[in-house]
């Protein structure tokens, strides 16, 4: 897969919003009703002898209401989980506890907050890569027709900057990405790879789709907010058929593959004018520039 950088495709609007907050939860809300929570926190240093990676990520759906579907992207296929899932904990670090070394894990949980499935993986959110890590995509239908759902209401004390409002009577998909500590959304959107994020659907990170740049019908702007020194990027895709039509207009969660998304994205050729480059080599140069800039500012 080759990325061609030209004047024609550099016209994308790079405006996005940075919102700083000490509150470590994001709330997806419609009509004052909470549809989804995403919480991040650092690993418990006292719990482990050592660990490698930066974050715990918790995802909660509507209280006492399961996702219609939950899909997990394996290396070469999508897997639909058959049981009802209410919560997900996504651990982006490995650890050593009393000599027992464990790889990162994703836990899918039932209504009682018990694990129904444990998925070990290799994905770590670390500052060795300037990479907005694709975590999940939340699908929200135009309407909820189940009158038994008792939505929680958003409270006044929740910071407004931590609330993502979605429109009524609109099918929406929200894509979430997390940057490593010390790298900002501004840093990333000055890199070549950011163009791919702006124009492509999430096939970009999938080995199953060979990292295909599958363009969306229109540009959907990215926004960001900062939680415990991590910039979280998100975009809302509205009323557009996605590459997973079985999830469109449902209340569902899609977990992106944590194992190889970086390699799928960056192991491709880039053409700038008449010159060809490996995008991964460009990433390494861009990362070194940012690190050198940070050192000079110390």
**One pLDDT digit (tens) per residue for the chain, 298 residues:** 444 444 444 444 444 445 556 689 999 999 999 999 999 998 888 888 888 888 999 999 999 999 999 999 999 999 999 999 999 999 989 988 888 889 999 999 999 999 999 999 999 998 899 999 999 999 999 999 888 899 999 999 999 889 999 999 999 999 999 999 889 898 999 898 998 999 999 999 999 999 999 999 888 889 988 888 899 999 999 988 889 999 999 999 999 999 999 999 999 988 777 888 899 999 999 999 888 876 666 5
Helices (H) then strands (E): counts for the chain: 4, 19
Q: For residues 71 and 78, is the Cβ–Cβ distance under 8 A?
A: yes
What does pTM read for this prediction? 0.91
Here the tokens at position 162 are: 């931590």
CA–CA gap between residue 180 and residue 262 (Å, rounded): 13
CA–CA gap between residue 50 and residue 170 (Å, rounded): 45
Which residues lie closer than 8 Å to 150 by C-beta, 6 or more apart? 63, 64
The radius of gyration of the chain from alpha carbons, rounded to an integer in Å, stands at 19
CA–CA gap between residue 200 and residue 213 (Å, rounded): 5
CA 90 to chain centre: 11
β-strands 87-97, 50-60: how paired?
antiparallel
CA–CA gap between residue 4 and residue 282 (Å, rounded): 14
Give strand pairing partners of 100. 97
Q: Is 159 exposed, middle or buried (0-12, 13-18, 19+ CB in 10 A)?
A: middle
């Amino acid at each position: 897969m080759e990325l061609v950088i030209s004047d024609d495709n550099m016209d994308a609007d790079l405006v996005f919003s940075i919102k700083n907050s000490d509150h470590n939860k994001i709330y997806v809300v419609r009509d004052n009703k909470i549809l989804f929570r995403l919480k991040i926190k650092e690993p418990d240093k006292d719990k482990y002898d050592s660990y490698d990676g930066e974050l715990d990520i918790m995802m909660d759906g509507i209280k006492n209401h399961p996702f219609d579907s939950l899909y997990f992207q394996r290396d070469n296929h999508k897997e639909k989980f058959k049981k009802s899932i209410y919560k997900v904990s996504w651990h982006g670090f490995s650890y050593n506890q009393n000599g027992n070394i464990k790889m990162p894990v994703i836990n899918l949980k039932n209504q009682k907050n018990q694990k129904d499935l444990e998925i070990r993986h290799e994905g770590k959110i670390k500052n060795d890569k300037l990479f907005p890590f694709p975590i999940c995509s939340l699908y929200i239908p135009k309407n909820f027709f189940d009158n038994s759902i008792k939505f929680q209401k958003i409270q006044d004390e929740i910071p407004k900057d931590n609330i993502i409002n979605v429109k009524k009577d609109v099918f929406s998909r929200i894509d979430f990405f997390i940057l490593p500590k010390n790298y900002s959304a501004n840093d990333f959107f000055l890199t070549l790879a950011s163009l791919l994020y702006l124009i492509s659907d999430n096939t970009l990170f999938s080995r199953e789709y060979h990292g295909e740049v599958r363009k969306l019908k229109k540009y959907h702007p990215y926004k960001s907010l900062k939680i415990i020194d991590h910039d979280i990027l998100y975009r809302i895709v509205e009323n557009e058929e996605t590459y997973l039509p079985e999830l469109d207009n449902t209340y569902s969660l899609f977990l992106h593959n944590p194992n190889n998304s970086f390699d799928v994205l960056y192991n491709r050729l880039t053409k700038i004018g008449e010159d060809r480059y490996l995008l991964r080599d460009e990433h390494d140069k861009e990362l070194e520039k940012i690190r050198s800039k940070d050192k000079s500012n110390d």
